[in-house]
Structure 1
Amino acid sequence: MTSDSTTPDLDVTRVMTASPEQIWAAWIDPAAIARWWGPDGFTSTVRELDVREGGRFDVVMQGPDGSTFENLYLFDDVEAGKRVSYVHQGSPEHGLAPSRSVVSIEEVDALSQTLVTLRSFYASESDRKKHLVDFQAAAGAHQLLERLEAVAVRGAGAVPATPEGP
Structure 2
Amino acid sequence: MTTTSSGGEPAPTTADREIVISRVIDAPRELVFEAFTLVRHLSRWWGPEGFTTTTRTFEFRVGGVWDFVMHGPDGTDYQEWITWRAIAAPERIALLHGESRDDPNAFESVLTFAPAGGRTRIVMRTVFPTRELRDEAVEKYHAIEGGEQTLGNLAAYVAELTGNETAPRGAEG
Query: Which TM-score band applies after superposition, normalised by the shorter structure?
Result: 0.7 to 0.9
Q: Is the 8 A contact 2:17 2:130 kept in 1?
A: no
* Residue 155 of structure 2: aligned partner: 149
Matches within 5 A, 1:51-130: 51-90=60-99, 97-109=105-117, 112-130=118-136
State the 1:35 CA deviation: 1.4
**1:29 paired residue among 38, 46, 49:** 38
**TM-score (normalizing by structure 1):** 0.83
Cα deviations by residue, 1:82-111 (Å, 9 ceiling, x for unpaired): 1111001346xxx970100011000011xx
* Residue 25 of structure 2: aligned partner: 16
Q: How many residue pairs align between the two structures?
A: 150
Q: Return the alpha-carbon distance in structure 2 between the equivalents of residues 54 and 129 of structure 1.
A: 28
**C-alpha distance 114-41 of structure 1, shift in aligned 2 (>3 A):** same
Q: Return the alpha-carbon distance in structure 1 between the equivalents of residues 16 and 116 of structure 2.
A: 23
| Aligned CA-pair RMSD | 2.1
Any gaps of 5 or more consecutive residues in structure 2?
1-11, 164-173
2:59 is aligned with 1:50: yes
**TM-score (normalizing by structure 2):** 0.79
Larger Cα-atom Rg: 2
Cα deviations by residue, 1:87-144 (Å, 9 ceiling, x for unpaired): 01346xxx970100011000011xx211000010001122011111110100000001
Q: Percent identity?
A: 27
Any gaps of 5 or more consecutive residues in structure 1?
159-166
